[in-house]
């Protein structure tokens, strides 16, 4: 199960309470609509990565880097795909 940062959990709670209205969320956080959309997209990517159910320690490590924003999600996916295709420990 995905463990969310407190800020992400609060964002999702507010998103649900505002019935998914990005316009209302933008108003609540006093940011632009595109900023809210970007944050939501990032959360979606985090959830998608967590749902892939990889138990391999290296894969979990790479996912953790992406979730912590130390690397971007697309880079994490590329690394994981390459690792799985090669089938070799790094």
Task: Note whether 42 and 62 are same-domain residues.
Answer: no
Task: Note whether 90 and 80 are same-domain residues.
Answer: yes
The residue written with tokens 């809210």 in the block is: 36
Look up residue 60 and give its DSSP letter.
H
Task: Note whether 12 and 42 are same-domain residues.
Answer: yes
Question: Which stretches within 1-71 are classed as H helix?
Answer: 6-17, 22-29, 33-50, 57-67
Residue 4: which domain range?
1-51
pLDDT score for 48: 79
Average model confidence (pLDDT) across the chain: 86
pTM, two decimal places: 0.58
Residue 26, φ and ψ in degrees, nearest 5: -60, -40
Task: Note whether 1 and 41 are same-domain residues.
Answer: yes
pLDDT digits (tens, 9 = 90+) for 41-62: 988 888 877 776 656 788 888 8
Domain total of the chain:
2
Question: Band of the pLDDT at 88, cuts 50, 70, 90?
Answer: low
């Amino acid at each position: 199960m995905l463990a969310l940062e407190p800020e992400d959990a609060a964002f999702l709670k507010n998103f649900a309470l505002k019935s998914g209205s990005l316009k209302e969320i933008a108003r609540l956080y006093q940011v632009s609509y595109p900023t809210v959309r970007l944050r939501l997209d990032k959360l979606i990517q985090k959830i998608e990565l967590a749902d892939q159910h990889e138990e391999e320690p290296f894969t979990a490590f790479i996912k953790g880097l992406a979730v912590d924003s130390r690397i971007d999600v697309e880079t994490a996916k590329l690394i994981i795909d390459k690792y799985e295709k090669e089938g070799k420990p790094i």
